[in-house]
Amino acid sequence: MRKHLLTILGVPLLAAQLTTWTSCGPSTSQSPAEPAPPAMPTTENEASDPKETNPLLEAWAGPLGGVPPFSRVQVEHFKPALEQAMTSALAEVNRIAAQPDPPSFDNTLAALERASHTLDRVRAVYNVWTSSLQTPEVQAVEREMGPKLAAFSDQITQNSALFARITAVYETRESAGLTPEQQRLAWVRYDHFVRTGAKLDAPSKTRLAEINQRLAALFTTFGQNVVADESNQFVLIEQQADLIGLPMSFQQSAAAEAVSRGHAGKWVISNTRSSVAPFLTYSDRRDLREKVWKMFVDRGDSPGATDNNPIITEILSLRAERAKLLGYPTHAHWRMANTMAKTPDQAIALLERVWKPAVSRVREEVRDMQAFANKELGQGKIRIEPWDYRYYGEKVRKQKYDLDGNQVKSYLQLDKLREAMFWVAGELHGLQFTRADNVKGFHPDVTAWKVSSTVSGSDVGMFFFDPWARQGKRSGAWASAYRLQQRFDGDVRPIVSNNSNFMKGAANEPTLVSWDDAETLFHEFGHALHGLLSNVQYPSLAGTQVFRDYVEFPSQINEHWLATPEVLQRFALHYQTGEPIPASLVQRIENASTFNQGFDTVEFLASAMFDMRVHLVGADSGVDKIDPRTFERETLAKLGMPKEIVMRHRSPHFQHIFGSDSYSAGYYSYLWADVLTADAFQAFVEAGGPYDRAVAARLRDNVLSQGNTVDPAEGYRRFRGRDAHVDALMKKRGFPTK
């Protein structure tokens, strides 16, 4: 997730949010004290006066049908561009709705596909700034434009004349000679309009619009609060002795971060997972581990301007009221009506099936860690706490499997891993990535890559890579699309990006990443491949525009190729000697593949269970009085949450579900998709192995290229020959299948 969907003209448009573990989050009325880096520098020819011209409103120029004009954009361009593009799009929608010709696919649905081209371009760039270049000025625009964009969407879905035309096309879709893809688009449009209130009476539509605008403002504030805490809070280490246990590469990154914050000669632990996780894993200073852990888990939960708890209460109340208006018992029922799971009960059943074996595994993990601590420190000296889990887990892993995470990390260079992703895409899907130095990103750290087919030689699309953490950038990792693939109005090639938050090391030194971070890289690249390999007619159905609990399937299955011998022998090279990772070390990695699965699974499941249960409270059940801290505490107690673990995303910084509607009542999707992932990879295992071309072609033809042109359950059956079996997931995580 590592990503976030917005809706324009009833069409899900991939934006530059979320993500990820999720990464994502933006938001408070408070601005980060540390300024974000300036936008890309401009040359004299590129510079533009916002009063005279607005590059956001121009057609994109450059290779592959044009690329975003990042280097020419100024913050002042966003508001007028958004307002003008919304006005133009709304005028076109009204023209479509009012035309005298009888409704047809071409004059209604196809016309709607064209209606928002300019706005789509503007929002693609706008979303980059709000996710990756958040200055106080950008945040001010976001706070103002959020409600306006929500109102714009409601003006379209509440247009009765337009809905009547869409309904007419939908009801005659099977008799009008439409292609299967056109019939699917008719259903997608109609379903979206119905689910967003097109059938409501006038007073209900008015109230619905008010709710949506207020929610948009709350989402923005929630996200900006999280970014403020992530940007402003850090732990400053002043003595070299306090770094005991930390690898030198991490110390160098912490020193570089200190320099960037004006603390040269010291070390800074940033409030971002890529900094916090390794600190909690390797620091021998238990008091500092506790301090860093509390900083991280309390994002958005401190009294004062960035406290997100009152915002959550209001969001939940408004969501429950909206669901009732739309005819659903709860927000969860509304959100899940067009998913693979269909109902909250189905999703909860899967979560509960995995919960008990995962908790049992946690008990085993804690016993092992406690025994190690007792032996090391003496019986009863400490009791394992959440800030100890990663630290003692690493020690137990080394003891049980002779596997040292730092040793593994020395073979995982970020640049080499990027090359590995590209190589796998070439082996499986015939893609070639060529550095496009003539294409500028939105920041000097961003690189652009032209993607082509090694089979036909034709252009496939463009890929942007943004790996580094910076002030004003949401934490985590996510994928986004700047342009969706389509073929109905010319052959339009997709433009996608991957965004991460790695800490830069010392100058001229390679950036080393953990095994988990390497998996995340491959995960996000799976989303990118889903967008690049899309092969559909209509952009509304392209790439990742699929059900929420299906979109993580292509990304999660891509993680499997990291551990293949072909990748490790070519690209897992020691950063000092250049020697490939030893086969004995690879075997130890494989032996330990299910180690700590209790921790990983329980922290995820706790977040997913909280998400589902808090959104199953109806409008008549006191939802307006929910205190997030109390609800979170009581929910975890009822689950029997091990005290040594907290939710992966505690409610005050749970961007997936409170930074937008995107993953709300949908965080379970990662587990649902992993059922498909585990089962699907077995198709490769059962055939010729991970690089079997025939199986890869089936995956590409039935999943990656199809977008939302077919029902995902049917697409999966075409690939696999049957429905997915949950046993493969349990085996993958090392849990009993019965």
Assess whether 524 carries a catalytic annotation: yes
Decide: 557 and 530 in contact? Cβ < 8 Å.
Answer: no
Intra-chain end-to-end CA distance of the chain, in Å: 30
* Beta carbons within 8 Å of 105's beta carbon, 6+ residues apart: 169, 176, 178, 182, 186
| H helix or E strand, kind and range, residue 554 | helix 548-558
Q: Which of 209, 208, 199 is nearest to 170 (CA)?
A: 199
Place of tokens 């603390």: 263
* Beta carbons within 8 Å of 157's beta carbon, 6+ residues apart: 10, 163, 192, 193, 196, 197, 198
- 3-class state of residue 175 by DSSP: coil
Extract the tokens encoding 86: 């919304």
- 3-class state of residue 194 by DSSP: helix
Amino acid at 306: T
Give one DSSP letter per residue of 562-614, joined into a string: GGSHHHHHHH-B-TTT-PBPPHHHHHHHHHTTTTTHHHHHHHHHHHHHHHHHH
Q: What is the DSSP letter of 269?
A: E
Extract the tokens encoding 194: 């119905």
CA distance 709 to 330: 29
Q: What phi-psi label fits residue 605: left (phi over 0), alpha (psi between -120 and 50 degrees) or beta?
A: alpha
Amino acid at 350: L
CA distance 422 to 528: 11
Of 92, 257, 321, 524, the catalytic one is 524
Decide: 666 and 611 in contact? Cβ < 8 Å.
Answer: yes
CA distance 595 to 626: 37
CA distance 667 to 88: 35
Give the residues across from 324 on adjacent strands. Answer: none
Catalytic (active-site) positions:
524
